[in-house]
Amino acid sequence: MEVIKLAIQKEGRLTDETLDFLRKSGLEFGNYKQKLFSICHNFPLEILYVRDDDIPDYVASGTVDLGILGQNLLYEERPKVKKLLNLRFGFCSLTVAVPKESNYKNLEDLKGKTIATTYPKSTLKFFKKIGIPIKIVRISGSVEIAPTLGISESIADLTSTGSTLALNELRPIAKIYDSEAVLIANKKSITGNKKTLIENLVIRFKGVLSAKNYKYVIMETTDKAIPRLRKITPELKSPIIFPLEKAGRILIQTLLKEDSLWKIIEKLKETGVFKIIVLPVEKIVT
């Protein structure tokens, strides 16, 4: 029986969110990180816990079929893999920052200066593109301390909230790129014997991702209000409608996009909706 091998970060900023995402996808497994792998009980899948830096090579070489990692590693390493999905968690940015009290105001001020970073290829490419010559010092960890130690005048590092920069008396002056967790695949795996299994797993993942964007809404209104509701909610094309005992009253059940939910709810109340219930959506499979 064919089994898919999936590599994920053993320890780090993506680990917990990755495990949570896999479980939301209906995968059942024990979290045995000390053993370096877990076997899924309800899907032909093995999960390998590895260093995030190793995931691109493992996938590209075929050691594993799939990997979940930060998009920043794809930008940096440019491995020969296929990106299948953006997973909508692990958001961060590769940011250029300078000491808070320094005179550096913009990127031009860094001309000829030294930048410390864990992502030398991405940083150098960015500065070459905008025509500013710099020097690069590669540092594996604690990049934020480099200016204090006199190693560099600036840094380029991943930030999510900016709190780490603030704690180290640094201020951002430019963003090189945005990043999030992505699913990548070995090119041979997605065309070979494991193609169907991978497609089935991706369907699960897409179901979780689709559900993130929607809420399940139940509203009590009158049957005469339906034409007006359709104008307010474009998604209200084929709602589920139940008649209530009270004459002319109905229950409507539908999906609404979360990013516009509250604006729509305000308009619904003005249109004669008596009661609105909003529920989370676990998965949407189409």
286 domain residue, yes or no: no
**Tokens representing 243?**
């008649």
- Packed helices 15-24 and 195-212: angle between N→C axes, nearest 10 degrees: 100
Question: What CATH number corresponds to the domain at position 193?
Answer: 3.40.190.10
Residue 226 has pLDDT above 80, yes or no: no
Assess contact for 70 and 181: CB atoms under 8 A: yes
Q: 222 in a domain, yes or no?
A: yes
Q: What is the pLDDT of residues 233-243, one digit of tens each?
A: 766 656 788 88
Q: With beta carbons less than 8 A apart as the criterion, state whether 204 and 286 touch.
A: no
Q: 75 and 191, same structural domain?
A: yes
**Which tokens hold the place of 206?**
């897409």
Q: Is residue 172 a part of any domain in this protein?
A: yes
pLDDT band per the 50, 70, 90 thresholds, residue 281: confident
> Using an 8 Å Cβ cutoff, are 172 and 162 in contact?
yes
For residue 15, tell me if it sits in a domain: yes
Q: 59 near 52, Cβ under 8 Å?
A: no
Shared domain for 160 and 184, answered yes or no, is: no
Q: If we measure between CA atoms, which residue out of 282, 71, 27, 63 comes closest to residue 19?
A: 27
Tell me which of 178, 199, 224 is where a domain ends: 178
pLDDT at 236: 61
**Residue where the block lists tokens 């000491």:** 99
Domain span at residue 16 reads 4-90+180-211
d(CA 75, CA 192): 26
Q: Is 202 among the domain residues?
A: yes
pLDDT of residue 238: 65
Q: Do 235 and 166 fall into the same domain?
A: no
Cα dist. 208→11, 41, 189, 211, 284 in Å? 23, 19, 23, 5, 7
What is the rounded distance in angstroms from the CA atom of residue 176 to the CA atom of residue 123?
7
Of the residues 193, 211, 229, the one at which a domain ends: 211
In a domain, 137, yes or no: yes
Q: Which residues contact 263 (CB under 8 A, 6 or more apart)?
A: none
166-223 tens-digit pLDDT: 999 999 999 999 999 999 999 999 998 999 999 999 999 999 998 888 888 888 888 7
- How does pLDDT run across 61-95, given as a tens digit for each residue? 999 999 999 999 999 999 999 999 999 999 999 99
Cα 126 to Cα 117: distance, rounded to the nearest angstrom: 13
Residue 118 · residue 143 · CB < 8 Å: yes
pLDDT for 213: 81
Residues 47 and 117 in one domain: no
- Do 82 and 148 lie in one domain? The reply is no
- The confidence score (pLDDT) of residue 79 equals 93
265 versus 77: the higher-pLDDT residue is 77
Same domain for 75 and 192? yes
Residues 12 and 82 in one domain: yes
Q: What is the pLDDT of residue 48?
A: 95
39 and 166 assigned to the same domain: no
Nearest to 98 by CA among 170, 161, 176, 158: 170
Number of domains in the chain: 3
| Residues 9 and 115 placed together within one structural domain of the fold | no
Mean pLDDT over the full length of the chain: 90
For residues 144 and 244, membership in a common domain is answered with no
The Cα 154–Cα 98 span in angstroms is 5
Whether residue 150 is found in the same domain as residue 79: no
pLDDT of residue 104 exceeding 80, the answer is yes
16 and 76 both lie in a single domain: yes
Phi then psi for residue 189, to 5 deg, are: -65, -35
